[in-house]
A and B are shown apart, each in its own frame.
Chain A
């Protein structure tokens, strides 16, 4: 970022601005969409919107947050059809959710066991490969909660699902993610 003690230094032009933020925007979109081609489309749309607002963004200290919010919202828009279906099922299957919520949380030691010995790039590859294998209805709330640090309430509002469903799916997705990472890490 371009943060300085006296405030952000305005970007000289839009290309410099884009170069500063494109990795963050693409990473966020790829994690949410679970698909690189779709993430590239989303990132393109995000920067076209940023260009339309560049006069405000070029010197703003919150430009990164603005881009991240737009990326999150556009990624969710790309999955709108799925979201509606998911919301429907979330309301139709309360009994199943209650059963799932009783599943035990994976032990905290498992997280350290899988990740502590790896360097940052190895961790990234392991986590993102496992993320891509999760179904949309698990990956979306998991990424919004753990990567984007949205609250349960915000996620429920974004996805149009009940709070209980969001909590259950995040817990279930966390278990699935760790299981996938575990299976990857013991592969020869």
Chain B
């Protein structure tokens, strides 16, 4: 913007000069209490409703351990699960019909899995599992990359925090 000869300023630059000098509007009186209430409400959320990074360390470790256990059981514990299901179905400890039906269905799935395992070599199954996991991770990474490049990269909510201070996204505010 030219400060030397205002009479020659284009209309846009003259308008900018005026509007940049305008006073700010007063925020509504209720804004402060609304913000404090929202902060209190967020702080009162139970840990399992917060992001995973804010979970207690024990809960995070337990969740990861349980996930690994389930994946391991799914991949290598098929025989053990099948035997457990069959023994449960055979026992009379489950008088409720829906539970019995569920166990029957699970046992049928297990028998199908066992049949497939007897036909398909185990090395093929393990290769397929590894390939599936690799594809899953690759697609997740591609999705995250696309999100960062196409959405967050051009439109971040929060500018990055730099060590020793803060930087705005366009570097023009200070």
Contact = CB atoms under 8 A, between A and B. Distances in A.
B157 A40 contact: no
Given A23-B25, A124-B25, A70 B11 contact: no
B31 interface: yes
Contact of A49 (B10, B28, B157): B157
A160 interface: yes
A70 B156 CA distance: 8
A60 interface: yes
Contacts of B38: 44, 48
A186 interface: no
B20 A69 contact: no
B20 A149 contact: yes
B26 interface: yes
Interface in B1-57: 9-12, 14-16, 18-28, 30-32, 34-36, 38-39, 42
Instruction: Give the dominant DSSP class at A's interface.
Output: helix
B170 interface: yes
Nearest to A30: B25
A33 interface: no
Contacts of A170: 12
Given A44-B34, A127-B22, A149-B20, A77 B155 contact: yes
Nearest to A157: B154
Contact of B35 (A48, A70, A177): A48
A18 B23 contact: no
B138 interface: no
Interface size class of A (residues with CB under 8 A): 35 or more
A49 B156 CA distance: 13
B154 A66 contact: no
Contacts of A36: 28
Contacts of B11: 105-108, 110-111, 174, 178
A20 to B, nearest CB: 11
Interface residues of B, number: 43
A62 B35 contact: no
Contacts of A106: 11
A49 B39 CA distance: 9
B120 interface: no
A10 interface: no
Contacts of A62: 165-168, 173-174
A70 B159 contact: yes
Given A105-B12, A149-B20, A18 B35 contact: yes
Nearest to B8: A108
A147 B168 contact: no
Contacts of A18: 32, 35
A128 B25 CA distance: 10
B27 A22 contact: yes
5 contacts: A26-B25, A26-B27, A43-B31, A105-B10, A127-B18
